[in-house]
Amino acid sequence: MYYFQIRQIAMAALAVALAFATWTTRIQAHGLEGDRFFPPTPLTDDPFAVDELSLPELQYNPASASHEIDVNASFSKEIFPKFALTVSETYINLNPKGGPAQDGWSNVGFNAKYQLWEIPEHEFILSIGSDVELGGTGSKAIQNSQYPYNYYTTYTPNLYLGKGFNELPDELKFFRPLAVTSVTGYDLYSGAPASNALEWSGSLQYSIPYLQQDVEDVGIPRPFKDMIPLVEFQMTTPTNRSATPTTGTIDPGVLWEGKYCQISLEASIPINSQSGPAVGGLFQVQIFIDDLFPKLFGHPLFFNDDTESNK
Amino acid sequence: MNIIRPLLILFLPLATISPAEAHAFLDHASPRVGSTVHPAPTQVELWMTEDLEPSFTKIKVLDATGAEIDKKDAAISGSTMVVSLPNLPPGVYKVVWKAVAVDTHVTTGDFTFTVN
C-alpha cells in the first residue's frame, strides 16, 4: 500500500509542476557556464539545477549469478532560480542463470540540488544537494541478495563540481575543450544493517563542439562535430560495518549532441572482481525539454528572473 | 507492464504543446574560428544553428588590448550576424558574441583569428 501511495503522490506532484510551468515564459540556458555546455552524463549527475529529462536509460550489467537490465527515467524541474527537484525511477529486470526472470520497480528516488557558486568566465560551478531513496517503495519481486536494503531509506548529501579548461595558454589550446565534473556523496542508511558508504563519481570530457566553436575550426564534419568523447567513473567505498573494498566501474564512451536530445553510449568496466565479472554497457537518451518545449520548461516555477536576455 | 501508466501521466501533457526552436550555437564563422588570414577580412560573419532575436543578439570584435575595433554596425538576419571591420593591421583579434534565439534561449561564445 505504502509503495503505491508514494508513487501516486510523486506523479501528482509532477502533474502539478507541469501545470505551474505553463504559466511562465522566459527561457534559461541548460547546463551552460560561460561559453561551456556541460552535458548531462549518464553516471555523473551534472552540477546544474535545471529542467532535464532522461528517458530512457538502459543499463546492462552482467553478473556471475544473473544478468540485469535496468530501464531508468528521471525528470528534473527548476523550482526556484538555481534550485531544482528530481524524481527518478528504475525498472529492473533480473535474469538469474537457471531460474525465472524477476522484474519490478526500484525504490522511488528524489533529489534536491542548488547551484551554490558559479564563475562563468572560469567555467566553474559548485552545487550542493541530496538524494533520497525512499525505502519500501520498490517492488518486492526483486528482493534478493543484490537488493537487500530496499526496505530502508537512504539519504545521500552530495557536492557537485564542474570546471572547464578554458584558461589553458595558447600552447595548450587543444586541451581547452576538456572539462571535468564530479559528484561526491555519502550514503546514510536509516536503520539498515548496511555500511554507510562514500559515493564518488566523475567525468573527463572532450567537447568537439567547444573545439570547433571556441578554439579552432579544424573542419570536423557531422556527426563527429557534435560528439563529446568522455570517460566516467563511479565508485562506492564502504566506511563502516563492512569489509568490502571499493567497488565501481570505469566507463569510456561518447555523447552525441542533437538539437533536441543527447544520446550516450558507454562501456562499463568493473575495477575489480567485487564490481562484476565482465564488461557491461549503458545507453541513455537525454531529452532537452527546455529546447523542445520552451514555454513549458527551461525556467523556474517561481521567482522567474525576466532580465537575462537584456544583459 | 507497470511502466506504461507513469510514463503516460508524465508525458501526455507534452503531446499538446508545439515544439519550438533550440539554443543558438555557432555553426561556423568567417574568418574561421582560430584561423590565420591574409589579407585582413572586411567583416566578421557568424552562422548560428537557430534564428536569432535581433534586439538582444550582439557581436563585437576586439583587438589585443581589449578595445572594440569593429564599425559597430552589427546586422542580425535570420540565423546570421555580421559586423564590418576597418583596415586591420596584423595581429590577433577576438570575436565576442551573444546569441538570443527567437524563443529567448541565451548562449555566448568567443574565439580569435589572426591577421598575418
Residues, chain B = 116
**Nearest chain B Cα distance for residue A104, angstroms:** 8
A36-52 pLDDT, tens digit per residue, is: 999 999 999 999 998 88
Residues, chain A = 311
Which residues of chain B does A308 touch, with a Cβ-Cβ cutoff of 8 Å?
104, 106
Predicted local distance difference test score (pLDDT) of residue A63:
66
Residue numbers of the domain that contains A117: 2-310
B106 closest CB neighbour out of A14, A289, A309:
A309
Examine the pLDDT at A16 and tell me if it is beyond 60. Answer: no
The CATH number of the structural domain formed by B21-115 is: 2.60.40.1220
User: What is the CATH number for A88?
Assistant: 2.40.160.40
pTM for the whole structure: 0.85
A173-185 pLDDT, tens digit per residue, is: 999 999 999 999 9
ipTM higher than the 0.90 cut: no
Pick the residue from chain A with its C-alpha nearest to B21: A291
Predicted local distance difference test score (pLDDT) of residue B59:
97
CA A27 to chain centre: 22
**Nearest chain A Cα distance for residue B86, angstroms:** 23
| Peptide bond just before B6 cis, omega within 30 deg | no
Are B109 and A35 an interchain contact pair (Cβ–Cβ within 8 Å)? Answer: yes
Work out the pLDDT band at A309, boundaries 50, 70, 90. Answer: very low
Q: What is the mean pLDDT of residues A1-15?
A: 52
What whole-number distance in Å separates Cα of residue B98 and Cα of residue A55? 31
A268-292 pLDDT, tens digit per residue, is: 999 998 888 889 998 988 888 877 8
CA A218 to chain centre: 31
Residue with cell 562563468: A120
Pick the residue from chain B with its C-alpha nearest to A225: B27
Please count the structural domains in chain A. 1
Least confident of A22-26, A96-100, B55-59, B79-83: A22-26
Examine the pLDDT at A254 and tell me if it is beyond 60. Answer: yes
A204-223 pLDDT, tens digit per residue, is: 999 999 999 999 999 999 99
A105 closest CB neighbour out of B2, B49, B53:
B2
Instruction: Judge contact between B80 and B47, C-beta under 8 A.
Output: yes
Q: Extract the C-alpha cell encoding B66.
A: 581589449
A161-175 pLDDT, tens digit per residue, is: 999 999 999 999 999
Pick the residue from chain B with its C-alpha nearest to A293: B19
Are B19 and A260 an interchain contact pair (Cβ–Cβ within 8 Å)? Answer: yes
Q: Where are the domains positioned within chain B?
A: 21-115
